Amino acid sequence: MNLIIMDNVIHEPISYVSDILDNEFVDIYDGVNTFQNIQPRDHDDEFAQTVMDFIGPHYEVAWNFVRKSPEGQEEPNYIHTDEMMGDITAILYLSHTHPDDDGTTIYDNDGRKACVMYSRFNRMVIFESKIPHSRNIFENFGQDDSSRLVQVAFLREKK
């Protein structure tokens, strides 16, 4: 398993988040599940470009979005993989204020915790999409603009 953690990803993160919060969040139905409070982003926004610069030219952005997850919001899954979305998952933590245990947990093939990563404002984590993972806080946190806020980009290998 390759795991990358990088801090200070966005150059002006407070303005970046302000711009995100000024735009609309929608619910997206994938044919099976409804993903709530999603904001689709351009494939060439600053986060996507940073990920692409880091990962290299053999990949392309398959989907790039921000997700706002207030406390108590029902989520379609907990421990899951993203392999149906792409080959690489990149997560950017955008909550300036968050509980200490917020972040992402990686699991081994037997469902045991293999690595617990903690969020930090403007921190990015990258890992293979086939790796089982979950958010650290099952019930999410916050309300309105203080809700859990992450940006996710899925990359797929170019064919």
List pLDDT tens digits, range 90-125.
999 999 999 999 999 999 989 999 999 999 999 999
Residue 2 predicted with pLDDT over 90: no
Residue pLDDT, tens place only, 132-158: 999 999 999 999 999 999 999 999 999
Output the pLDDT for position 146.
Answer: 95
Under 8 Å between Cβ of 137 and 148: yes
Instruction: Give pLDDT, residue 153.
Output: 97
CB contact set of 58 (below 8 Å; sequence gap of 6+)? 157, 158
The span from the CA of 156 to the CA of 60, in Å, is 6
pLDDT of residue 3: 92
pLDDT at 1 over 80: no
β-pair type (3-6, 133-135): unpaired
Domain boundaries, the chain: 3-26+34-157
Average pLDDT, the chain: 94
pLDDT band at 33 (very low <50, low <70, confident <90, very high): confident
Q: Which two structure tokens, joined as six digits, stand for 97? A: 């204020």
**How many C-beta atoms lie closer than 10 Å to residue 32's C-beta?**
6
Is pLDDT of 23 > 70?
yes
Handedness of CA 133, 104, 67, 5 (dihedral sign): negative
pLDDT for the residue numbered 34: 84
Q: Yes or no: is domain 3-26+34-157 CATH 2.60.120.620?
A: yes
Name the strand (E) or helix (H) holding 17: helix 13-21
